[in-house]
Amino acid sequence: MKPIEDIEILNDHSIESQPKHSSRKVYIESYGCQMNFSDSEIVASILKKQGYEPTTVPEAADLVLLNTCSIRDKAEQTVRQRLGQINGLKHQNPGLLVGVLGCMAERLKERLLEEEKIVDLVVGPDAYRTLPDLLQQADDGVKAVNTFLSRDETYGDLEPVRLNSNGVTAFISIMRGCDNMCSFCVVPFTRGRERSRDPHSIVNEAKDLFAKGYREVTLLGQNVDSYKWSEAENNKARLEKAGLSDTVGFAQLLDMVARIDPRLRVRFSTSHPKDITDDVLHTMAAHPNVCKYIHLPVQSGNSRVLDLMNRGYSREWYLEKIKRIREILGEDCGLSSDMITGFCSETEDEHQETLSLMESVVFDFAYMFHYSERPGTLAAKKLVDDVPAETKNRRLQEIIQAQGRHSLRRYQREIGTVQEVLIEGPSRRSHEKLQGRTSSNKVVVFPAENKIKGQYVHVLIEDCTSATLLGRIIDR
């Protein structure tokens, strides 16, 4: 899952139709991946029914919730620092309740209550439905914890509250958990086993979003290619009537969502190299509104290191998959990746293989980190974190520099082309300009010319940086 480094803060205007009698306010911050941001929308939906209004001002809140990430030690330290800052608020407002949600809550459980004295409740990703009861306990002065991992919870029946929404793009969670036991990763331990959501509820959510004016949805899962849902026997006829089997895989789900309306763009994240199929690629090719962009984490360019990571594929397999993507979707398909430098026992030659793989693929962009050992993972139990920190950091900088060159190359090749862009809103730097993204997930900035968000426009690309395309609207 792609990480999001920014902090999401609940917006006063992001929850509609709040109960007028409500007198309690909640302030939420989300850290980490897109799934956490999606989960915060579920939490907001549950709290909305309890009469909680959002606020952008933590000093005005009766409840502060941090939705946390455990993927790296730095992510956890960021949350601890933030809790230290919130401690000052609790001194000013002794009635303030503070909760830790998400992966960090699941990993540390009761220890959070002991280590961070200001925390009143700790809630894991599968226990959000119990928030009302846990808040009642906390109101009564009892520290509350629920980190139960479910084998069937998908929150599929809840209507998420769209937080900080631009009204154009939205996340739809299609599955939860992960069965891939990558040796460096805590996700299987913090989010549990894979379970897929009823495809009909996914399609209905996408239809509802389109009816409300949204024009792009991103289907989310730790590994969307593992999506697999079986219709109960008594409802089997419903799928047969739609021309589908009693088992729906990701390619079929993608097709179902794409058929809602050609004006609804569809993205997805994240794919696993060992699981993405030709069926998915052909479905992408068949629908113009399915964006031609794939996030395909490689982690390392060396087969021995990939084996230690328990990734389930080799360097050669990955490169063959890239070749297949290019064959079916073309050279213009956007590709991004994740890379980890300095994994256990990684040699200099193996690091060079990661750089050479990057040179072979030329990713549009990438998320790059040095290895951070996470307690409880297979790597922490069985491998030695023996690459010195200075070596990890030096290798990381080399990868970052290489990716900067590659991004510029990929963006430069768009100059002179005309791209269909979905307008997402004003440019960050100037309200006289708008920004949106291409099908291949590249940000484009262009003069507004009286256009508004939610519209599709054709933009002639005239210039670029390594992260942004620059152009002007043309008639076509």
Indicate the residue type of 433: K
Per-residue pLDDT band for 476 (boundaries 50, 70, 90) equals confident
Residues of the chain with CATH 3.40.50.12160: 3-146
Name the CATH superfamily, with its identifier, for domain 418-474.
Nucleic acid-binding proteins (2.40.50.140)
Residue 8 has pLDDT above 50, yes or no: no
Q: What is the mean pLDDT of residues 379-390?
A: 97
Tens digits of per-residue pLDDT, 206-242? Answer: 999 999 999 999 999 999 999 999 876 445 555 555 5
**CATH 3.30.750.200 domain range(s) in the chain:** 297-413
CATH code linked to domain 3-146: 3.40.50.12160
The 8-class DSSP code of residue 226 comes to G
Tell me what pLDDT residue 195 has: 95
The alpha carbon of residue 65 and the mean position of all alpha carbons in its chain are separated, in whole angstroms, by: 19
Q: Which CATH number fits domain 297-413: 3.40.50.970, 3.30.750.200, 3.40.50.620, 3.90.950.20?
A: 3.30.750.200
Residues of the chain with CATH 2.40.50.140: 418-474
Q: Over the chain, what is the mean pLDDT?
A: 91
E strand spans, 305-409: 334-341, 365-370
As beta bridge partners, residue 272 has none
Q: How many CB atoms lie within 10 A of CB 393?
A: 13
The answer to whether the beta carbons of residues 324 and 402 sit under 8 Å apart is: no
Provide the strand spans (E) within 204-333.
216-220, 228-230, 247-249, 265-269, 293-295
β-pairing verdict for 418-426 and 456-464: antiparallel
* 233 or 97, which is more confident: 97
For residue 305, what are the CA distances in angstroms to 178, 293, 340, 419, 453? 21, 26, 10, 39, 45
Sign of CA dihedral 453, 455, 456, 458: negative
Backbone angles phi and psi of 310, in degrees to 5: 60, 45
Question: How do residues 161-176 score in pLDDT, each as one tens digit?
Answer: 888 889 999 999 999 9
Q: Which runs of E-coded beta strand occur in 92-155?
A: 97-102, 121-123, 144-146
Give the N- to C-terminal CA distance of the chain in Å, as an integer: 36
Which pLDDT value is given to residue 164? 81
CATH topology of domain 166-291: Transcription Regulator spoIIAA (3.30.750)
pLDDT bin (cut points 50, 70, 90) of residue 78 is very high
